[in-house]
Structure 1
Amino acid sequence: MDKRIFPLALGGLGIGTTEFVIMGLLPDVAKSLKISIPEAGHLISSYALGVVVGAPILVGYAAKFPPKKILIFLMLAFTVFNGLSALVNNYYAMMAARFFSGLPHGAFFGVGTVVATRLAKPGKQARSIALMFTGLTLANLAMVPFVTWLGHLLSWRYAFGVVALIGLLTMLFIQLFLPEMNSLRTTTLKKELEFFKTAKAWHIIAITAIGFGGLFAWFSYITPLMTEVSKFDTSFIAYIMVLAGAGMVVGNFLGGIMADRMRPALAAGILLFAMVMALILVFFFSEYKAASLILTFLCGALSMAVGTPVNIMMLRSAKNSEMMAAAFMQAAFNVGNSLGAFFGGLPLEFGFSYNYPSLVGAAMAGLGFLMCLTFIKKYNPVK
Structure 2
Amino acid sequence: MNRKQVRKEPFPVSILSLTAGAFAIGMTEFVIMGILPNVAEDLHVSISTAGQLITMYALGVAVGAPILTILTQRIPQKKLLYLLMVLFIIGNGISVFAPNYSVLMAARMITALTHGTFFGVGAVIASNLVPPNKRAGAVSIMMAGLTIANIIGVPLGTFIGQNMGWRASFGAIAIMGVIALIGIILFIPKLKQEKPVSVVKQLSAVIQPKLLMYLLIGALGNAGLFTVFTYINPLLVEITGYAEHSVTWILVLFGCGVTLGNIVGGKLADWKLMPSILGLYFAISVILTIFTVTVYHPLAAVITVFLWGTAAFAVMPGLQVRIMSLAEDAPALASTSNHSAGNLGNAAGAFIGGWVITHLSLNALPWVGALLVGLGLVLGIACYIAERKNSVAQTA
TM-score w.r.t. the length of structure 1 is: 0.83
Query: Quick one: which of 280, 293, 301 aligns to 2:289?
Result: 280
The whole-number CA distance in structure 2 between the counterparts of 1:20 and 1:355 is 25
Query: Quick one: which of 173, 176, 183 aligns to 2:183?
Result: 173
User: Partner of 2:145 in structure 1?
Assistant: 135
Asked if the contact 2:140/2:263 (under 8 Å) is kept, the reply is no
User: Partner of 1:361 in structure 2?
Assistant: 369
The whole-number CA distance in structure 1 between the counterparts of 2:98 and 2:52 is 16
Residues 178-211 of structure 1: CA deviation (Å, up to 9, x unaligned): 3455644453333232222321111011001122
Residue 344 to residue 290, structure 1, CA distance change in 2 (3 Å): same
Residue 323 to residue 285, structure 1, CA distance change in 2 (3 Å): same
Asked if the contact 2:65/2:115 (under 8 Å) is kept, the reply is yes
Q: Give the number of equivalent residue pairs.
A: 379
Query: Quick one: which of 28, 44, 54 aligns to 2:64?
Result: 54
User: Partner of 1:35 in structure 2?
Assistant: 47
SS at match of 1:63: coil
**1:104 partnered with 2:114:** yes
Query: Quick one: which of 320, 323, 326 aligns to 2:329?
Result: 320
SS at match of 2:74: coil
SS at match of 1:315: helix
Asked if the contact 2:137/2:270 (under 8 Å) is kept, the reply is no
The whole-number CA distance in structure 2 between the counterparts of 1:207 and 1:23 is 27
Greater CA deviation, 142-151 or 211-220?
142-151
- Report deviation, 1:347: 3.8
Residue 300 to residue 130, structure 1, CA distance change in 2 (3 Å): closer
The whole-number CA distance in structure 2 between the counterparts of 1:24 and 1:93 is 20
The whole-number CA distance in structure 1 between the counterparts of 2:171 and 2:99 is 14
Residue 152 to residue 296, structure 1, CA distance change in 2 (3 Å): farther
Residues 213-265 of structure 1: CA deviation (Å, up to 9, x unaligned): 2102222233343444444444434422321121112212442344344451x
Greater CA deviation, 370-379 or 77-86?
77-86
- Report deviation, 1:88: 5.9
The whole-number CA distance in structure 2 between the counterparts of 1:51 and 1:10 is 19
Residue 42 to residue 286, structure 1, CA distance change in 2 (3 Å): farther
SS at match of 1:133: helix
The whole-number CA distance in structure 2 between the counterparts of 1:157 and 1:355 is 37
Asked if the contact 2:135/2:270 (under 8 Å) is kept, the reply is no
User: Partner of 2:7 in structure 1?
Assistant: none
TM-score w.r.t. the length of structure 2 is: 0.80
Residue 92 to residue 365, structure 1, CA distance change in 2 (3 Å): farther
SS at match of 2:197: coil
Uncovered stretches (5+) of structure 2, i.e. residues with no partner:
1-10
Residue 346 to residue 83, structure 1, CA distance change in 2 (3 Å): farther
Asked if the contact 2:82/2:181 (under 8 Å) is kept, the reply is yes
User: Partner of 1:301 in structure 2?
Assistant: 310
**1:144 partnered with 2:154:** yes
The whole-number CA distance in structure 2 between the counterparts of 1:231 and 1:93 is 41
Greater CA deviation, 87-96 or 290-299?
87-96
SS at match of 1:15: helix
Asked if the contact 1:45/1:342 (under 8 Å) is kept, the reply is no
- Report deviation, 1:293: 1.5
Asked if the contact 1:23/1:221 (under 8 Å) is kept, the reply is no
Residues 12-57 of structure 1: CA deviation (Å, up to 9, x unaligned): 1112233344556677777885335xx7765544322211222221
Residues 257-291 of structure 1: CA deviation (Å, up to 9, x unaligned): 44344451x43233223222323344444343323
The whole-number CA distance in structure 1 between the counterparts of 2:66 and 2:359 is 38
Greater CA deviation, 235-244 or 121-130?
121-130
> Which of these two proteins has the greater Rg computed from alpha carbons?
2
Q: 1:336-355, aligned counterparts within 5 Å?
A: 336-348=345-357, 350=358, 354-355=362-363
RMSD of the alignment, in Å?
3.5
